[in-house]
Amino acid sequence: MKSEYNKDIYIRHFKEADIPALLNLIAQIASSEDLTKIAHIQFSNELASPDHEGSRFVATLDGLVVGTMGCARGPIPSSQALWADWLIVDSDYQRCGIASLLYSEIEKYAFERGKRYLCLDIGNIDKERAAYLFHLNNGFQIIGQLPDYWCDYEHLNIMAKFLTSRK
Ligand SMILES: CC(C)(COP(=O)(O)OP(=O)(O)OC[C@H]1O[C@@H](n2cnc3c(N)ncnc32)[C@H](O)[C@@H]1OP(=O)(O)O)[C@@H](O)C(=O)NCCC(=O)NCCS
């Protein structure tokens, strides 16, 4: 699958017309909350704020949006860090290297702006094994955990990567 697709995948900044496709991807994340509503508000605010610090990318294959990821100042803003968010790859196109390509762009973006760290709240590492293993294999470490932070058995897990060079 990897060799079939990865040379044809194109990464670019997202634009307003991508929002429905991004929300379709986000709808693939199982959650008791309506994540699409939260994401729609966030994406619209980003596009409407010229001084927004951060960026959002989409991965396309034959013009179809198959993955997305963004970064922003996040919940604990610092001049040294950006927080990654809304990483999702269409379930039909996973394990083709798409998330790795998106991360390369995000890391390059953060490094070029003098950031030392890329951080994220990885969520439940027992349920989200793919996300956890993906980040471990991409140089992230768990640097903080608060058990039952969100609710019973839903821990806060913060992962971070020290950015040493452009990817
Ligand atoms: C996590 C996710 C983004 C990975 O996207 P992807 O495009 O499939 O990832 P890549 O193909 O770039 O994977 C790179 C490496 O990460 C690891 N990895 C990715 N998915 C994995 C899985 N399901 N199991 C084990 N390792 C995995 C592997 O080391 C993989 O390399 P390999 O395929 O050569 O073995 C994708 O599974 C996804 O969208 N999951 C649902 C949403 C989600 O959990 N988002 C993250 C929120 S923090």
DSSP-derived secondary structure for the chain: -HHHHGGGEEEEE--GGGHHHHHHHHTTS--SS-HHHHHHHHHHHHHH-TT--EEEEEEEETTEEEEEEEEES-SS-BTTEEEEEEEEE-GGGTTSSHHHHHHHHHHHHHHHTT--EEEEE---TTT-HHHHHHHHHTT-EEEEEEEEEEETTEEEEEEEEE--S--
Q: Which sequence spans correspond to the domains of the chain? A: 2-116
Q: 51 alpha carbon to ligand 1 midpoint, in Å? A: 32
Using CB distances shorter than 6 Å, the residues near ligand 1 are 29, 87-89, 94-100, 120, 122-123, 128, 130-131, 133-134, 137
Domain 2-116, CATH number (from 3.30.365.10, 1.10.10.10, 3.80.30.20, 3.40.630.30): 3.40.630.30
What are the pLDDT tens digits along the chain (167 aa)? 454 666 799 999 999 999 999 999 999 988 888 999 999 999 999 999 989 999 999 999 999 999 999 999 999 999 999 999 999 999 999 999 999 999 999 999 999 999 999 999 998 888 889 999 999 999 999 999 999 998 898 889 999 999 986 54
